[in-house]
A and B are shown apart, each in its own frame.
Chain A
Amino acid sequence: QKEVEQDPGPLSVPEGAIVSLNCTYSNSAFQYFMWYRQYSRKGPELLMYTYSSGNKEDGRFTAQVDKSSKYISLFIRDSQPSDSATYLCAMKRTGGFKTIFGAGTRLFVKA
Chain B
Amino acid sequence: GAGVSQSPRYKVAKRGQDVALRCDPISGHVSLFWYQQALGQGPEFLTYFQNEAQLDKSGLPSDRFFAERPEGSVSTLKIQRTQQEDSAVYLCASSTQAPGTEAFFGQGTRLTVV
Contact = CB atoms under 8 A, between A and B. Distances in A.
Interface of A: 4, 6, 8, 32, 34, 36, 41-46, 49, 88, 90, 92, 95-104
B42 interface: yes
Contacts of A101: 35, 42-44
Contacts of B84: none
Contact of A46 (B45, B102, B106): B102
Given A43-B4, A98-B48, A98-B56, 6 more contacts: A36-B105, A44-B105, A97-B33, A99-B33, A104-B41, A104-B42
A35 to B, nearest CB: 11
A22 B50 CA distance: 31
Given A8-B40, A102-B42, A42 B107 contact: yes
Contacts of A97: 33, 45, 48, 55-56, 99
A110 to B, nearest CB: 22
Interface of B: 4, 33, 35, 40-45, 48, 55-56, 58-59, 91, 93, 99, 101-108
Identify the 5 closest CB pairs spanning chains A and B, nearest first: A101-B42, A43-B105, A97-B48, A97-B56, A98-B45
A32 B99 CA distance: 12
A99 B102 contact: yes
- Main SS class of interface, B: loop
Nearest to A6: B42
A98 B59 CA distance: 9
Contacts of B43: 44, 88, 101
15 contacts: A4-B42, A6-B42, A34-B101, A41-B107, A95-B99, A96-B99, A97-B99, A98-B45, A98-B58, A99-B101, A101-B35, A101-B43, A103-B42, A104-B41, A104-B42
